[in-house]
Amino acid sequence: AMPATVKTVSVLDRTKESGSLGEPLYLDVVTAISQAFSNGEIASLPKIYGGRYGLSSKEFTPAMAKAVFDNAVSAKPVNGFTVGITDDVTNKSLAYDPTFDVEPDDVVRAVFFGLGADGTVGANKNSIKIIAEDAGKYGQGYFVYDSRKSGSMTTSHLRFSDNPIRSAYLINQADFVACHQFQFMNKVDILHIAKVGGTFLLNAPYPHEEVWNHLPKEVQEQIISKKLKFYTINAVEVARATGMGARINTIMQACFFAISNILPKDEAIAQIKAAIKKTYSKKGDAIVQKNYAAVDASLEHMFEVKYPDHVTSTFGRLAPVPADAPAFVQGLTAKLIADKGDSVKTSELQEVIDGTWPTGTTQYEKRCIATEIPVWDPETCIQCGKCSIVCPHGVIRMKVADEAQLASAPSTLKRADYKGKEFAGKKFILQISAEDCTGCGLCVSACPAKNKANPELHAINMDHIENHLDVEKANWKFFETLPYVKRTEVQKNLPKTTQMIRPLFEFSGACAGCGETPYIKLLTQLFGDRMVVANATGCSSIYSGNLPTTPYCKDEKGHGPAWANSLFEDNAEFGLGMRVSVDHGEETAKSLLNELKDQLGDIADKILANPQSTDAEIDAQRDNVQELRAKLSGISGDVAAHLMEVADYLIKKSVWIIGGDGWAYDIGFGGLDHAIASGRNVNILVVDTGVYSNTGGQQSKATPMGASAKFATAGKELPKKDLAMIAMSYGNVYVAQVAMGANDAQVIKAMNEAEAFDGPSLIIAYSHCINQGLNMAEGLMHQKDAVETGSWPLYRYNPDNIKEGKAPLMLDSKAPSKPLADYMASETRFMVVNKMNPERYSTLLNRAQEGVNEKRSLLEHMSQYK
């Protein structure tokens, strides 16, 4: 029963029910108390106020709870309030003091800022286990990160205590703050969360004596005013020296334990090494030993920074987005990029109230997350375009220009005489957007050119970003003022020519070295100005449509891909519906056009006669439609008005259904089969990683025999599902199996043929992935090995060949030149099976090799069949 002394009741709902008199729990409480009063069960009716909290996963902290109590006892309490959100539209939100803190002093609070895929989150989870499970203390962890695959900021909130921890909210006053990525210091307010007298650990690419001079004014001011103990380490250099690559997690973890004194240093190091062995033992002893070496080296390279009592920096923190960004990007988008999403006010969302967000906004992020970037050597370059075509994030661009266009270019802008007939007499420029690069190194591994003076160097080579950043920023700014080659000016059949066209998919949130995005980027260079995309849920939907920025963009005429994401299981049907809709729109427009032929004159015949089989014809059709609209504006009546609405359907659309193997082989296979069997002109691109990449590496029916994956840790027993052969069995489907790292020209040819084929087309693209257990910088070599061992044969099946008396199947890869064992030995997903059970691995390897031999024989036989 409710105590008789209760004067006021505040009810909090975690939902908003528009149109009702109040939220559900509030109405229940009002009803219950009113009935109790009516029945005489309570002597007086208390005041009852309702409010909302925790909407969209907003925090609910003691400070907010205090605001609710303060509201209840105020002179004019607000009913229907919100707390945790600043609602400046209805002005019914409660103000609260974010510094209000009720946590006990014995709780150690630590916050770590890392970069997605740098291992920070994983290391912190291990830290909790070490302290809470092994040391007998209490531990708690909250981890904040967006859905991008890697490369965005992760924040780990850790609490430790000798007593139970009751705080079910993020830390707002931290004893220990660690920043694992130096570039955050220039863009994000990291130290706002540090308490006075706390400790700050920074991973910096500079000697400890120089770190202070590289910090912005705001950061220096915070360190001084909060009297922080300041430590630094060049963790990237330690990782490189100990063979850890870009993984700095165990290095920073060791530094944390050494500084925090939560455990005695020797005990902490022993526990870290035990956790390393438990975590990485399946990946081989070499990995374990590298981690051990990194831990041992970390403490030797960590230093305390002694700083002055006044600010000495001459520069401030960078703005979240460039000054020339559009107003919307300068406002809401910039706030989200700066990690200030929690402070967004209701009024700031009015521009996107209909759910519409602008495209092409990744170009304003300028994440600057690479420690090394590619540097172009124009004298060695053969201008093949391979570095550009494999670039997962579209940061390597190619253009040609006249000398006159380069008159105002920075002196540092590199250029060379164009090699080829298409643009003879012009200068060739290859430029890198250093701030958007992730430093994956795929461009270097793709480069076939060798420096004559030093054969170890290519025409493009990696170097420390700090040696080139300022120069390349200026170069890129000028480079963007130069026009791209038009689609009608080149034959889109080679890497060199396709890469002079502007990609309409750029700077995505995909992993560094991603094997999927080069295919999507290439599609936009071939057909992006008229693409309609249905994207299955998975990695490709995350890096394609994740807030706060969007990688799909428009060309200078405002043309670009129309993109939408549906559910995992119905994407093929979703894309088929797009095709049906486009066809219906075209048929309607042509019917109306015929009705008005007498009033429209020659333009109607021009439109109807245009086959739109080339870019030049499609450009001509755009001009035709523009002329049509001009004539329609002078014709009255419903028919003319309707034709004006659907006129754009007269321009040919390229419909693509895109997704991963988890969608195509498994969950969405029924819909995929339905789309293929429809006979409609849909193009399907399957970016095949052989696992469910987005959810962490579970096996799919595309997982190759012998590979270890979640739900098949001992090695998959059954062979990979032959999706291509299933599609070929229909006889009227264009099918291609491609691998960018093995034959980029074949990829281009397959995409062009798929688009030209009047019917369903299926392209299955080998996509290396971090879940396969490989060095992503070597992803292209793994693709090549897969082809050369016969694990991934390249071919194209074109039913149109039958009309010409040719075999529909064209084999594009030679007979295997290496045993399958060579390919499998280079990837952890196979080697972990060998480590666990060599006998089982040997059996699966032999069976897989037999499968490769049989598949090759079948394909060779099919290639002779006409």
How many domains does the structure of the chain reveal?
5
- Indicate whether 628 belongs to any domain: yes
Shared-domain flag, residues 705 and 772? yes
Shared-domain flag, residues 161 and 214? yes
Domain that holds residue 602: 574-650
Q: Indicate the residue among 472, 501, 530 that finishes a domain.
A: 501
Shared-domain flag, residues 390 and 434? yes
- The amino acid at residue 236 is V
What is the rounded distance in angstroms from the CA atom of residue 64 to the CA atom of residue 53? 9
Shared-domain flag, residues 81 and 136? no
Shared-domain flag, residues 112 and 87? no
- Indicate whether 569 belongs to any domain: no
Shared-domain flag, residues 636 and 696? no
Which CATH number characterizes residue 721's domain? 3.40.50.970
Q: At what angle do helices 265-280 and 285-300 cross, to 10 degrees?
A: 150
Q: What pLDDT does 149 receive?
A: 66
Shared-domain flag, residues 198 and 255? yes
Measured between alpha carbons, how far apart are the two ends of the chain, in Å?
A: 86
Q: What pLDDT does 726 receive?
A: 98
pLDDT tens digit sequence for 557-583 = 999 999 999 888 999 999 999 999 999
| 376 alpha-carbon distance from chain centroid | 26
Phi/psi at 438 (5° precision): -105, 0
Q: At what angle do helices 615-632 and 602-609 cross, to 10 degrees?
A: 150
What is the rounded distance in angstroms from the CA atom of residue 575 to the CA atom of residue 744? 26
Question: Which parts of the chain have pLDDT scores under 70?
Answer: 134, 149
Which CATH number characterizes residue 493's domain? 3.30.70.20
What is the rounded distance in angstroms from the CA atom of residue 278 to the CA atom of residue 290? 14
- Indicate whether 443 belongs to any domain: yes
- Indicate whether 238 belongs to any domain: yes
- Indicate whether 624 belongs to any domain: yes
Quickly list DSSP for 520-577. Answer: HHHHHHHHGGGEEEEE-SSHHHHHHS-TT---B---TTS---EEEE--STTHHHHHHH
Q: Indicate the residue among 631, 650, 669 that finishes a domain.
A: 650
pTM of the model: 0.94
Q: Are strands 229-233 and 302-304 parallel, antiparallel or unpaired?
A: antiparallel
Shared-domain flag, residues 421 and 489? yes
Shared-domain flag, residues 67 and 139? no
- Indicate whether 446 belongs to any domain: yes
What residues are paired with 302 via a beta bridge? 233
Instruction: Tell me how crowded residue 389 is: count the other CB atoms within 10 A of its CB.
Output: 27
Q: What pLDDT does 133 receive?
A: 80
- Indicate whether 683 belongs to any domain: no
Q: What pLDDT does 546 receive?
A: 86
Shared-domain flag, residues 719 and 614? no
pLDDT tens digit sequence for 296-320 = 999 999 999 999 999 999 999 999 9
Which CATH number characterizes residue 41's domain? 3.40.50.920
Q: At what angle do helices 571-595 and 638-646 cross, to 10 degrees?
A: 140
CA angle 625, 627, 629 (to 5 degrees): 70
What is the rounded distance in angstroms from the CA atom of residue 434 to the CA atom of residue 395? 8
- Indicate whether 762 belongs to any domain: yes
Q: Indicate the residue among 471, 501, 531 that finishes a domain.
A: 501
Q: Which region, left, alpha or beta, applies to residue 84 given φ > 0 means left and ψ of -120 to 50 means alpha?
A: left
